[in-house]
Amino acid sequence: MDLPKGLAGVVIADTAISSTKNDMLTYAGYPITELIANDVPYEAVVFLLWHQRLPTSEELRNFRAALFAEMELAPDFLATLKKISKIQRHPMSLLRTSVSFLGSIESKAESNATAIQAKMLMIVAMIVRLRANKKPLKARRELDFAGNFVYLLTGKVPNAAEDALFNKVLLLHADHEFNASTFTARVAASTNADEYSCLTAAICALKGPLHGGANEQVYFLLEEIRKSGQSVADYLAARLAKHEKIMGFGHRIYKNGDPRAFYLHDYAKTMAEHYDQMAMFNLAESVAAYMLQTKNLKPNVDFYAAIIYHCLGIPHDIFTPIFAVSRTAGWLAHIREQKAASYLIRPSSHYTGEYNKKVPGELQLSDLTPRPFKQEGGAAL
């Protein structure tokens, strides 16, 4: 049967949240070019995705204050997070576990989108601090969401230019219609699962290197090329000859280039110039040129983001968790939209196995069946 591989091109639902039509990313009617050109704060973008309209300046002030008020974690949760953060696993796994755990202790009444958005930032920042035995920092009232994120991750208050740049990076990652993690969240939401369960599922899908996990892999790629002493062409030719994917290139939707990469390229260059990382940036440029020339593949959102985070001094295993914090805005919007639509997502499969097979007689199933289990004081189950 000739099926569209990986649901490519299959439209599965209506959405008013975002669109990638005509190779342009649009959030509820606003192209990202418009939002970037007007320096729209990330908080306003979150509001836009959740309400499909931009906030008034008063609503923005109130929303920023509400987010700030939620930028703290209860002592009991923090104590558990301290233990979780010491587990030697990828921070995306720790984030997944932490969000799941938070969902287990939060009452339904307490869970609201604003609190979740703020707490995602706090969890990622706290994992970074706690695993390094550093004192957790408190969010600062004078900083916006982007500024607080950089401060809580690095311990350094970003200057105005860095804050503005990081704000744009968050803006560009906030939503992307039916990407794999958002689709995963929507499938969970369609069963009427709670928000934390939907988010946990989304984090699991984002983690993979073919999706959000690619930004960290870009860092490894650039480091490996640098250390190999090989030319970019030799290194990439050898990998491509083995049919390996080069991380940070290609996209399911954008075959003519990811519009977000256009901006991130320039931000990465600005950061690299400022932080004396031009060697890394130039290496990335050579990789991009080779991929375009030999495979006609262009960088996606993950490629230049890796350089920006590196310049800010953020550990490479935190690149994907940053993506998760920004994308929480989109995930929550889609979870809400899917729940409101109120139908189950359950596609059909094309079965390629056999039917009506018989169990071979010599298989003594009774030997494999566990003895009846008797509960204390109760009947055998």
Ligand X SMILES: CC(=O)SCCNC(=O)CCNC(=O)[C@H](O)C(C)(C)COP(=O)(O)OP(=O)(O)OC[C@H]1O[C@@H](n2cnc3c(N)ncnc32)[C@H](O)[C@@H]1OP(=O)(O)O
Q: CA–CA separation, 262 vs 23, rounded Å?
A: 12
- For residue 214, the partner it binds in ligand OAA, ligand X, none, with Cβ less than 5 to 8 A by kind, is ligand X
Nearest approach, Cβ of residue 13 and ligand OAA (Å): 15
Look up tokens 């970037």; give the residue.
36
β-strands 18-19, 30-31: how paired? unpaired
Q: CA–CA separation, 172 vs 327, rounded Å?
A: 9
SS3 of residue 26 by DSSP:
strand
- Cite the beta strand spans of 7-112 per DSSP E: 18-19, 26-27, 30-31
> Please, which residue, 12 or 65, has the CB nearer to ligand X?
12
> Please, which residue, 301 or 312, has the CB nearer to ligand OAA?
301
Six-digit token pair at 157?
A: 């208050």
Residue nearest to ligand OAA (CB): 179
Nearest approach, Cβ of residue 133 and ligand OAA (Å): 34
Of the candidates 305, 321, 12, the one whose C-alpha atom is nearest the C-alpha of residue 179 is 12
> Does residue 302 have an active-site annotation?
yes
Residue 102 is a binding residue for ligand X (CB under 6 A): no
Tell me which residues in 218-247 interact with ligand X (CB under 6 A).
245-247
Nearest approach, Cβ of residue 49 and ligand X (Å): 17
The amino acid at residue 73 is L
Helix 42-51, helix 57-69: angle, nearest 10: 100
Number of residues that bind ligand X (CB under 6 A): 18
Contact 95, 124 (CB under 8 A): yes
Q: CA–CA separation, 86 vs 128, rounded Å?
A: 10
Of the candidates 176, 302, 310, 334, the residue annotated as catalytic is 302
Of the candidates 173, 176, 211, 251, the residue annotated as catalytic is 251
Residue 211 is a binding residue for ligand X (CB under 6 A): yes
Look up tokens 């932490």; give the residue.
98
Helix 195-207, helix 319-341: angle, nearest 10: 130
SS3 of residue 374 by DSSP:
strand
The stretch near ligand X (CB under 6 A) out of 33-41, 63-71, 222-230, 292-300 is: 292-300
Per-residue contact string for residues 291-330; x = within reach of ligand OAA by CB under 6 A: ----------x-----------------------------
Per-residue contact string for residues 174-213; x = within reach of ligand OAA by CB under 6 A: --x--x----------------------------------
SS3 string, 326-362, reads HHHHHHHHHHHHHHHHCCCCCCCCCCCCCCCCCCCCC
Number of residues that bind ligand OAA (CB under 6 A): 5
> Does residue 334 have an active-site annotation?
no
Residue 280 is a binding residue for ligand OAA (CB under 6 A): no
Residue 295 is a binding residue for ligand X (CB under 6 A): yes
Q: CA–CA separation, 61 vs 312, rounded Å?
A: 27
Residue 252 is a binding residue for ligand OAA (CB under 6 A): yes
Residue 140 is a binding residue for ligand OAA (CB under 6 A): no
> Please, which residue, 106 or 175, has the CB nearer to ligand X?
175
> Please, which residue, 85 or 167, has the CB nearer to ligand OAA?
167
| Residues lying near ligand OAA in the complex (CB under 6 A) | 176, 179, 252-253, 301
Residues annotated catalytic, as ranges: 251, 302
| Residues lying near ligand X in the complex (CB under 6 A) | 6, 210-212, 214, 245-252, 295, 297, 300-302
